[in-house]
Amino acid sequence: MGELTGKRIVLGVTGGVAAYKAAELVRALVREQAAVEVVLTATGARFVSAATFQALSGNPVWLDLWDDRASGGMAHIELGRRADAIVVAPASADFLAKLACGLADDLLSTLCLARPAGRVLMVAPAMNREMWDNPATRRNAARLREDGVALLGPADGEQACGETGPGRMAEPGELIEALIATFQPRRLAGRRLLITAGPTFEPIDPVRGLTNLSSGRMGYALARAAAEAGAAVTLVSGPVSLATPGGVERVDVLTALQMREAVLSRLADIDLFIAVAAVCDFRAAEPSVAKVKKEGASLSLPLARNPDILAEVAARPDAPFCVGFAAETERLEEQAEAKRRAKGLPLLVGNLVQEGMGGENSRLVLFDDGGMHPIAPGSKREIARRLIGEIAARLPGGAHG
Ligand SMILES: Cc1cc2nc3c(=O)[nH]c(=O)nc-3n(C[C@H](O)[C@H](O)[C@H](O)COP(=O)(O)O)c2cc1C
């Protein structure tokens, strides 16, 4: 099932070169099973024609304030009322100015002004960097944020005009993720989460090392689900090839010692610490500065024990609410509960590695003072949302939202 099944989205497209990206956005929205109605400004229609949006959305496109196809003859009222969210991408400098001033001289600006209170309005500015840096545009953007409009981007980079700087429209994938997030319950609103994910890599020499098969997917899915739930999320990540979830601050580390340092230096004001990373238990006691040669190398590798980051955090007098993960290959119940008690954790998530590590699906069981609670199976994303709900309900002060 798509992440936006049953949602009606009005997509406004204004006059900018990035209008071509709006076509990709419509496809991505339809892929998530949203019902999309496109509203084009007159200038927007000069960049990409209505026929393209009609074909991609499967719905007629709206262009004119005086269009009488709406049942009450008032498209500017009806379109906003029946939408679950309004997205304007790209939003021109001109459109931001209109929106900030409450102008209503075409269909798109009028329907934004007439939208019901609380209706999500997300805009993705796209323009030349000088236009974006102009104090008037900055003022308009700041005013829109104050008014509760969600501004996404613009990103920094190469621009269609040949210049480089801030002004590129946020990518369609990023906009979709942000939109999906707006429909999730805000159970962690106001909470600060520190989470670790991925494996660690312990060098033996400059080209070799000890590591494990953790893909980082579960930790990243949890970081995303927590951000969707409204938490401020810092993700301390071992080496993985995954994109950083939107709105998450990511800190990259390689070794267990670096991960420990990154965690301990970021604990101030943290409400919740989730340790998902598969931290290597051992490291090479004396990594070689130069590549170890095949000939003449000793065939034994002296190891040193790595610190237990979670146990160290959980033992602090000012410890945040700590959640651990235990990946076991056998006797999960016994080993996970023993681990939870040894580390003094209120909650531990156990999984059998045959069923999850490095893979897309995971079977998880929660262990707390009340016993053992299996989590219904699903994709990592679904499981992550369920898990965040379970964690939020156990936090001191309870779930928000
Ligand atoms: C070739 C061309 C490219 C343009 N690109 C942009 C752009 O990327 N961003 C922007 O804010 N304005 C851009 N403009 C200016 C807008 O099209 C102009 O301000 C227009 O009035 C916007 O109308 P609208 O906000 O009703 O769609 C461009 C104009 C032209 C002729």
Residue-wise pLDDT tens digits, 263-288: 999 999 999 999 999 999 999 999 99
- Is residue 279 located within the same domain as residue 339? yes
- pLDDT of the residue at 356: 47
> Over 80: is that where the pLDDT of 359 sits?
no
Place of tokens 């080496």: 239
- pLDDT of the residue at 361: 54
Percent of the chain with pLDDT over 90: 78
> Over 90: is that where the pLDDT of 331 sits?
no
Query: Does residue 54 lie within any of the structural domains?
Result: yes
- Is residue 301 located within the same domain as residue 378? yes
* 335, 340, 346, 348 alpha-carbon torsion, rounded to 10°: -50
pTM of the model: 0.83
- Is residue 388 located within the same domain as residue 246? yes
Percent of the chain with pLDDT over 70: 96
CATH of the domain at 198: 3.40.50.10300
- Spot the catalytic one: 112, 161, 280, 322: 161
User: Ligand 1 center to residue 92 CA distance, Å?
Assistant: 6
Residue-wise pLDDT tens digits, 201-231: 999 999 999 999 999 999 999 999 999 999 9
Domain limit, last residue, from 182, 217, 250 = 182
SS3 of the chain: the string is CCCCCCCEEEEEECCCCCHHHHHHHHHHHHHCCCEEEEEECCCHHHHCCHHHHHHHHCCCCECCCCCCCCCCCCHHHHHHHHCCEEEEEEECHHHHHHHHHCCCCCHHHHHHHCCCCCCEEEEEECCCHHHHHCHHHHHHHHHHHHCCCEECCCEEEECCCCCEEEEECCCHHHHHHHHHHHCCCCCCCCCEEEEEECECCEEEECCEEECCCCCCHHHHHHHHHHHHCCCEEEEEECCCCCCCCCCCEEEECCCHHHHHHHHHCCCCCCCEEEECCECCCEEECCCCCCCCCCCCCCCCCCEEECCCHHHHHHCCCCCCEEEEEEEECCCHHHHHHHHHHHHCCCEEEEEEHHHCCCCCEECEEEEECCEEEECCCEEHHHHHHHHHHHHHHHCCCCCCC
- pLDDT of the residue at 310: 97
> Over 50: is that where the pLDDT of 163 sits?
yes
Per-residue confidence band for 21, with pLDDT thresholds at 50, 70 and 90:
very high
- CA-nearest residue for atom 28, ligand 1, is 16
Domain limit, last residue, from 182, 200, 227 = 182
Query: Does residue 401 lie within any of the structural domains?
Result: no
- pLDDT of the residue at 219: 95
> Over 80: is that where the pLDDT of 362 sits?
no
Domain limit, last residue, from 182, 214, 242 = 182
Choose one of 63, 92, 107 to mutate for the ligand 1 pocket test, by most ligand atoms within 8 angstroms of C-beta: 92
> Over 50: is that where the pLDDT of 158 sits?
yes
- Domain housing 355: 192-394
Active site includes 280? Answer: no
- Is residue 100 located within the same domain as residue 246? no
Task: Rank 206-210, 326-330, 354-358 by mean pLDDT and report only the highest.
Answer: 206-210
- pLDDT of the residue at 201: 98
How distant, in Å, are the alpha carbons of 18, 46, 89, 159 from that of 60? Answer: 21, 17, 18, 31
> Over 80: is that where the pLDDT of 255 sits?
yes
Contact residues of ligand 1, CB 6 A cut-off: 14-18, 41, 43-44, 92-95, 126-127, 131
CATH of the domain at 105: 3.40.50.1950
> Over 60: is that where the pLDDT of 46 sits?
yes
Per-residue confidence band for 397, with pLDDT thresholds at 50, 70 and 90:
confident
* Residue with more model confidence, 384 or 294: 384
Query: Does residue 2 lie within any of the structural domains?
Result: no
- Is residue 266 located within the same domain as residue 387? yes
Mean pLDDT estimate for the chain: 92
- Is residue 232 located within the same domain as residue 296? yes
Domains contained in the chain, number: 2
Residue-wise pLDDT tens digits, 93-125: 999 999 999 999 999 999 999 999 989 999 999
- pLDDT of the residue at 398: 66
